[in-house]
A and B are shown apart, each in its own frame.
Chain A
Amino acid sequence: MYTQRQTRIQNILDAVVIIALLALYGCGNPPNNPHGDADRRVNYYYDTFMAPPKHLDPVRSYSSDEAVFVCQVYEPPLQFHFLKRPYELQPLTAVHMPAISTRTVEGTSCAVYEITIEPGILYQPHPCFARNEQGELIYHDLDDRDTDGFVQISDFKKTGTRELVAADYVLQLKRMADPRLNCPILSTMAKYILGLDRFHADLREQLDGVRAARRRAAGLFYNQTEDEKQNPILLDYALVDLLGVEVVDRYTYRIIIKGRYPQIKYWLAMPFFAPMPHEVLSFYGQAALIERGITLDRFPVGTGAYYIETYLPHEEIILARNPNYRRELYPHEGEPEDMARGLLRDAGKQLPFIDKAVYVYESEYITAWNKFLQGYYDTSGIDSDSFDQAVVMTEQGVALTDSLKDRGIGLITAPTASIMYFGFNMRDDVVGGLNEKKCKLRRAISIAIDIEEYLDIFSNGRGIPAHGLIPPGIFGYFDGRTGMNPYVYDWDARQQRSVRKSIKEARRLLAEAGYPNGIGPDGHQLTISFDNMLTGSSYAPYINWMIKQFRKLNINLEVNTTDYNRFQDKIDSGNFQFFNWGWNADYPDPENFMFLLYGPNARHGRGVGNNTGYVSRKFDRLFRRMETMENTPERLKIIRQIQATLQHDAPLYFGYFPVAYSLYHDWYYNAKPNLMGRNNLKYKRIEGDLRARLRSEWNQPVIWPVMLFGLLAVLACVPAVIMVWKRGRRP
């Protein structure tokens, strides 16, 4: 029988245990759910990001991990159709595709792109637009006291909005030239947008003038960074004319291009050409906000389907539905097989479907992968380490493993608009040059590098061997025998596919190049240096594999591994012989690949893009003809000629086109890869109830091993306790 004191102690202990279990397990939520109880059955999308974004300012952001966020918030005038392939541009905020005319400006023939935007498009609710009853902006004269303790944009109590106007697009174009913003495409756009280079120089002069005056006033202890944090410089873009942009009326603006540049239409689908309201610049230009890290680079402002609700780049980033988003509908048409895939089920419905997208920072792939299998992330890529767990190769091709199929997980694959290639230094005495012997040397090496084997060993087969520069899905890609590189492959008529030439053929070419059996005219073995940035022990197998490829020709491959910056230095100075690299397309046009070998872009001459230093009059002539053409049969013919030239000259060994594999759960709808357009979140749909049910089913806790361990631990203490008791009783 318990005493009153014992009963009280027992009750307290029971309460402690119950509270601990409730704290751990919540109320019916699986205890291993990292998202908390509030997410059950809600219409949220969960995903990960592996690196905190550097920039969310659309004029600075250029990497694909930033595009995940930027492209949901900002809306340029055009977008890529979600379903149609090949990729097709369509209006986004524009009423129709740009109207193109010509004009002569200062003796230069120019193309004029006139864009009319839809009336009535509103920005997301944001404090920069908040006004008082008198109509005055209330947060544009802030000091430290007003923002004390603020860390997020949601700390501001009031918000407002306004209509999108054409002048906002023009302002953003001008921002591209702001020297402080380091716009990555400024040098490209300055070649084409009339007056942009002069505008940039004028802004630089304005900026330098302000800084010089401040330096003179401050004296010896002037610190530019600290001074501009406390007294930001607001450049007046209106002080200088930019000839290449015009505001026609409230909803219409023009971009004036020097000469012809049809690829500008692709750039018009990128966030660089998104609108920027002047209220945003004056709001974020305040010292009180800059001090707190509340900047445009972290808290974007747009008209997109989503806005950034929470920005904690080392924890999570949450996008929430923009309540002011206009009426946009799910597309009615796509590819022929989209209907069967269920991708037209939501045709005609209003976007977006998802209320919130929660992106969680995961620095390790393995933890993200396991959480995906538990159902806590809705989609996932496939790492090499988990490839065998996810995918098997069958006679029909790639298929999911049974364990993933049982969970209703789906797989989609798509060739990326990118290429991984191996390049030769065309200015090198040994491997460079355009005479036939040097071409044969490079072709011999190209045959020896068995890219099919590489894909099997190192990439789980996730790639398509490249016969030219242009990947599948982009105008100018040739499949089958038409596209085959005849210097590296033969056509097998029986199997109807290309087969790599034999190593015997490579050796023959090598001998004709002046290196019989890999021995040079001086009697020594040919040595070629392989410059790379493959630091890390995980690359050792690949490097060994490369050495073996060259050994087939009795060529000694000297591996020079350096860090990224030293590698760049070598490329810049032309101090290399052979390297490998990749290119990810900005837009789906062959020009964006061919420019990698255009002579004037040769890196060694301080150009950008042509790392091999390849200069061929024939190639350059054909490229200049092709670069501004529309996609016509004539253009295709020129591209074939260019491809044949490259295959003959072999400044690169083309390597392969990577194929992206993505997995998604059963409750995730409208999964179609769109590798050009990144504003796809608005098309996705989640079935929250199904997700909650399956998560609960898959994640029931297993408690008995812990209880068993506890019991065994207690039992193990019994002999020890007996020993203590006996010692205590010893006289």
Chain B
Amino acid sequence: MEAGEAAMIAYIIRRVLYAVPTLIGVNVLIFALFFVVNSPDDMARTILGEKNVSPAAIENWKQENGYHLPLFWNTQAAGIAQLTDTIFFAKSVRLFVFDFGNSDRSGTSIGDQIRMRMAPSLAIAVPAFILGLLANITFSLIVAFYRATYLDYWALILCVITMSISTLFYIIGGQYLFAICLRLVPISGYESGAAMFKFILLPVGIGIVSGIGAGVRFYRIIFLEVIGNDYIRTARAKGLSEIRVLFKHVLKNAMIPILTGVVMTIPFLFYGSLLMEAFFAIPGLGGYTLEAINAQDFAVVRAMVYLGAVLNVAGLVLTDISYTLVDPRVRLG
């Protein structure tokens, strides 16, 4: 094994080990925050519904679902049972081995639900991300090419306008225009397989358009910074065409800051978009999380927040690794 590879592996192991106390802290914090706001009685009432919910029914629910125990410390138990006979130990410790358990509300396996619902979230998020990135980079390169012209000026104004418009407006406007007035795509819905195409066309399009304003402005600044360097002037002086200068030299050297944002975003594609999934009836993870919050389903909320923390750590490690791939000057360790 080469020295570089060994250093990278050692770095990854170190970062994973650093993540352990972070994840422990996240687990404890989610637990504490949830139960500061909601008591097990509150959870029982929400899950049992509004009709005929007697105190006996609430106690019974708590007993059946293991929420009758103390939160962190059981003063009535003896020895180690003071720690293990608690809600935290019963419900949250298993997260460390990625055993998410069952939903408090429906009893279904959270792990199975995550696996099942990840695909619809990715079906929207991945194309929107890739196509959005391509569109942002292309348009910002074009705008950078036409820097200091009227095209540049009006493009910036257009970017600010599109940034100022709420995503919700894009969603409702897009549905109204393309699904109701023009009747080109379904208003909402989802099907797996090849039939998915017509359902994701509009949400993916909206995802791209709603992000273009901010994306073009951000990448334009990066490209302009690179364009001002001496080696770009040298490339022009050597007689290379402007297109070649932009797409070969400018783009390559702008990759590091682009990668910072892009790679960090990748793990969160799994989470999906709450708004998009709600309005387009996509059965993804974003909607799953939102329903769990509304239903006070602690098991699901805890699992999704924990998953988010894990994805965050993964994103940071991936970002660091990707630096070494695009910039030979960067070494890990």
Contacts and interface: CB of A to CB of B under 8 A. Distances in A.
Interface stretch (A250-258, A502-510, A696-704): A696-704
Interface string B155-198: 00000000000000000100100011111111111110011011
A187 interface: yes
Contacts of A52: 106, 291
A564 B64 CA distance: 23
A702 B182 CA distance: 5
Interface in A311-329: 312-315
Contacts of A229: 102
Contact of A179 (B55, B64, B194, B278): B64
Contact of A367 (B56, B108, B175, B291): B175
Contacts of A36: 191, 195
Given A34-B189, A314-B288, A361-B281, A225 B65 contact: yes
A727 interface: yes
A32 B195 contact: no
Contacts of A727: 242
Given A292-B109, A363-B287, A371-B188, A184 B49 contact: yes
A482 B19 CA distance: 74
Most chain-A Cβ atoms within 10 A of its Cβ — which of B45, B179, B189, B199? B189
Contact of A706 (B49, B182, B198, B288): B182
A720 B138 CA distance: 14
Given A313-B106, A367-B187, A608 B46 contact: no
A184 B81 CA distance: 33
B189 A360 contact: yes
A54 B105 contact: yes
A705 B182 contact: yes
B258 interface: no
Contacts of B131: none
Given A63-B49, A223-B90, A292-B109, A187 B181 contact: no
A293 interface: yes
A608 B80 CA distance: 40
A24 B183 contact: no
A180 B63 CA distance: 9
A371 B187 contact: yes
Nearest to A717: B142
A223 B101 CA distance: 12
Interface string A363-384: 1101100110010000000000
B242 A728 contact: yes
A558 B51 CA distance: 28
Interface in B52-67: 52-57, 60-61, 63-66
A565 B278 contact: no
A75 to B, nearest CB: 23
B291 A187 contact: no
Given A33-B186, A565-B46, A293 B199 contact: no
A293 B108 contact: yes
A225 to B, nearest CB: 5
A501 to B, nearest CB: 33
A723 B175 CA distance: 37
Interface string A7-24: 000000000000000011
A312 B188 CA distance: 16
Nearest to A187: B54
Contacts of A312: 283
B68 to A, nearest CB: 10
Interface in B293-322: none
B283 to A, nearest CB: 4
A511 B182 CA distance: 64
A34 B186 contact: yes
A703 B281 CA distance: 25
Interface in B80-105: 80-81, 84, 90, 94, 101-102, 105
B42 interface: yes
B268 interface: no
A24 B64 contact: no
Nearest to B112: A293
A455 B65 CA distance: 42
Range, interface on chain A: 35 or more
A297 B108 CA distance: 10
A205 to B, nearest CB: 13
A221 interface: yes
A572 B109 CA distance: 34
A568 B45 contact: yes
Contacts of A184: 48-49, 51-53, 57
Nearest to B149: A723
B26 interface: no
B18 interface: no
B102 A367 contact: no
Interface string A605-617: 0101000000000
B32 interface: no
Contacts of B262: none
B184 A182 contact: no
Contact of A188 (B46, B52, B108, B243): B52
A565 B61 CA distance: 16
Contacts of A187: 52, 54, 56-57
A229 B80 CA distance: 24
A394 interface: no
Interface in A197-228: 220-221, 223-226
Contacts of A436: none
Nearest to A37: B195
A392 interface: no
Contact of B283 (A180, A188, A314): A314
A293 B242 contact: no
B251 interface: no
B80 A220 contact: yes
Contacts of A225: 65-66, 90, 101-102
Interface string A589-620: 00000000000000000101000000000000
3 interchain residue pairs of minimum CB distance: A34-B189, A565-B42, A34-B186
Given A187-B52, A374-B180, 17 more contacts: A34-B199, A36-B191, A179-B63, A184-B49, A184-B57, A225-B101, A312-B283, A360-B189, A363-B278, A367-B188, A367-B279, A370-B179, A371-B187, A565-B38, A565-B46, A701-B184, A702-B183
21 contacts: A23-B198, A24-B198, A31-B185, A32-B179, A32-B184, A34-B188, A34-B199, A54-B106, A62-B49, A63-B49, A182-B48, A187-B52, A220-B80, A223-B66, A226-B94, A364-B278, A370-B179, A606-B55, A702-B183, A703-B182, A723-B149
Interface of A: 23-24, 30-34, 36, 52, 54, 62-63, 151, 179-180, 182, 184-188, 220-221, 223-226, 229, 291-293, 295, 297-298, 312-315, 360-364, 366-367, 370-371, 374, 564-565, 568, 572, 584, 586, 606, 608, 699-703, 705-706, 720, 723-724, 727-728
